[in-house]
Amino acid sequence: MPKAYVLIENESGKEDFVISNLNKIPSITNAHGTFGAYDIITILESSDEKTIQSDITNKIRKISGIRGTLTLLVDKKPGILKINKIDQKVLDEYMAHAFITIHCSKLDESNILKILQGIPEVVESDLLVRNYEIICKISAPTYNDISEIISNKIRKIHGMKSTITINIINKQGFSR
């Protein structure tokens, strides 16, 4: 199933307004407020790529208050999904979460993905097309734990060039 992540920069204080409008777009399965370089992260899934592309161009980018977007298209190769939607709802309630974009050599992708699968806190991971090579979601009890996981486990994987951390703001967003 085609999938994309869209990182959104919006006008200050417009996060709730933008998220409520994102909730009206059926292909968006998740939208969460973040802190860091981006204000919101969304996940789109659809039976065809044209729907995703159209929703990004004709719906997301047309929402008032959005200043910019970065689209990360998911490769057709399978990623990692360790938990189901019910388990994810429990984690969303009680844990801290972050998405990590990973830049690495294309030759190192499969090895890095295999190592990520062995890290218990990595609950999901996808190979990407273009900009970055991998995006993964981690869950841990606190943001300090997330910082330690990134520093001591993820960034030490052989073949890593760089990472960007996108911390999720709990209770600001939705999951379907």
CATH number at residue 16: 3.30.70.920
pLDDT value for 168: 95
156 plus 86 within the same structural domain: yes
Q: Which residue among 45, 74, 103 closes a domain?
A: 74
pLDDT value for 132: 77
Task: Provide the residue range defining the domain that includes 7.
Answer: 3-74
pLDDT value for 12: 93
Per-block average pLDDT, block size 10, for the chain (176 residues)?
Answer: 95 96 97 94 95 95 96 90 76 86 92 95 92 91 96 95 94 88
Q: Which residue among 74, 108, 132 closes a domain?
A: 74
Q: CA nearest 171: which of 90, 92, 97?
A: 92
The pair of structure tokens assigned to 1 is 């199933």
Domain tally for the chain? 2
Is residue 58 helix, strand or coil?
helix
Q: Which residue among 20, 44, 74 closes a domain?
A: 74
pLDDT value for 91: 73
